[in-house]
Structure 1
């Protein structure tokens, strides 16, 4: 099954999701949906109780829901109950919530948008641009972020061509790259910025984004040049790619006297500067 992971936004709350290219369906994290619909402080427990009840009632939702690996707030991937759009509509009927109707409309819109994007990939870029503008990001930052998506895709394509596995191996290599240039793993970086489920790159400054792009682009170029044959060799390449950006970081810090890696996040920049990039 060919899959592509993503984060979808409903009323500024994130829902982990996976797109299955074979059956052209989105699969959504049930606990994330439950959290939004119920505003429960413990959505996993709520879903566990509801799932038990639905099984007793003979509901197909409880018996047929799949489990797929989704990234958790700690950066690791765990098996998580997921449901497709049809199953989520059944779930919504089982949960009394004032958000039920707008959530149904959101689900229908997501499915339609994805099919449109498959026919015209530029639409996904346009939607990303619109999303970041609505959040108040500067155009300069947005241009960097969209470029970072392209560079990340080139790197993951290179990893796939080497037979590396999405999920654990990709996460390990990403951690090596991030640690090499920033002295922090992805988890440590997110803790510094006070993030949980939020995307780390969406909370980087312009300079952080540029250095991360340099690290990932360098890793891809080195990989293509040396052609690693094992995961162990790819780990060494990831270290080398991150080191390229580390050299640039040290040079910049020596000339400016300022630390590049910061605790600034979207929320903090919004509070302090109205989301204007501090280094525009």
Structure 2
């Protein structure tokens, strides 16, 4: 599970390894946060080279994970667990080192708490959205959408489908079927780059997306697809259910449902 964490309002790309039950963080992001370097990639390269001369191979405490870059594409990047980062931090002279260590411990503790009691994660998400200025009505829809998405991905996992590429393809099929736009096209319409698309949908868009994903899950359980190709057909059918609702709503209201208006824009206007 990939995610974005914030340390002093700076983004930290991260990945939760379910088997190991620990976070992995982008080392380059950590370097940038601690050093404020204009070229954290070069800083990390020189740091590894310097430590190697001292007999310390920092690459051995890293693993390559694909993470999204500023251009929206995913590239393999050095990542390290909390334990590995504590070693790396020792080689970075920074006044932020101690606060960062405390932050790492807090992030790890919060995730373990959420695994024991999922309601804690929901409460944290609720508070996060309230702080950003979202309405309670929108937040309720957003939290419900997270639950429905989880049910769908659990169904895909039970079919042996692979997270990452296959999940992304199926999601694109669903989104395209009901909104007539791929996820990328949808984000472009709303003027988004790295921001989460669902976080910038209107209430109605969220509801239709939930209908599409819930329908896909229900149809999958009913028809029992045997492989990825059959699951693609199911995704199309699930998206079509929401498309029918969208067309009927637009006919009744005379208004487009999928628009360039985003929650991001509305929040900026409020501020």
Scaled by the length of structure 2, the TM-score of the pair is: 0.89
Residue 245 (str. 1) matches residue 242 (str. 2):
yes
Q: 1:6 aligns with which of 3, 7, 16?
A: 3
Helix, strand or coil for the counterpart of 1:69?
strand
Contact preservation (8 Å) 2:190, 2:261: yes
Helix, strand or coil for the counterpart of 2:251?
helix
Residue 233 (str. 1) matches residue 220 (str. 2):
no
Q: Which residue of 1 aligns with 2:138?
A: 141
Number of residue pairs aligned between Structure 1 and Structure 2? 271
- Give RMSD over aligned pairs: 2.3
Deviation at 1:196, TM superposition (A): 2.4
Deviation at 1:108, TM superposition (A): 1.2
Q: 2:29 aligns with which of 29, 32, 35?
A: 32
Helix, strand or coil for the counterpart of 2:65?
strand
Q: 1:108 aligns with which of 96, 105, 117?
A: 105
Q: 1:263 aligns with which of 251, 256, 260?
A: 260
Q: Identify if the C-alpha distance between structure 1 residues 141 and 39 changes in structure 2 by more than 3 Å, giving closer, same or farther.
A: farther
Helix, strand or coil for the counterpart of 1:94?
coil
Helix, strand or coil for the counterpart of 2:249?
helix
Q: Which runs of 5+ in 2 are unaligned?
A: none
Contact preservation (8 Å) 1:144, 1:209: yes
Contact preservation (8 Å) 2:67, 2:74: yes
Partner Cα distance (1:75, 1:223) in 2: 30
Q: Identify if the C-alpha distance between structure 1 residues 224 and 88 changes in structure 2 by more than 3 Å, giving closer, same or farther.
A: same
Q: Give the 5 Å matches for 1:77-96.
A: 77-96=74-93
Q: Give the 5 Å matches for 1:144-183.
A: 144-183=141-180
Partner Cα distance (1:55, 1:192) in 2: 47
- What is the CA deviation profile of residues 42-99 of structure 1, one whole-angstrom value per residue up to 9, with x for unaligned ones? 5444434434444344334333311123345666544322111122223334344454
Helix, strand or coil for the counterpart of 2:162?
coil
Partner Cα distance (1:75, 1:173) in 2: 19
Residue 130 (str. 1) matches residue 122 (str. 2):
no
Contact preservation (8 Å) 1:76, 1:168: no
Partner Cα distance (2:233, 2:244) in 1: 17
Q: 1:202 aligns with which of 199, 202, 213?
A: 199
Partner Cα distance (2:136, 2:185) in 1: 28
Q: Which residue of 2 aligns with 1:47?
A: 44
Q: Which runs of 5+ in 1 are unaligned?
A: 275-280
Moved more, 118-127 or 190-199: 190-199
Scaled by the length of structure 1, the TM-score of the pair is: 0.87
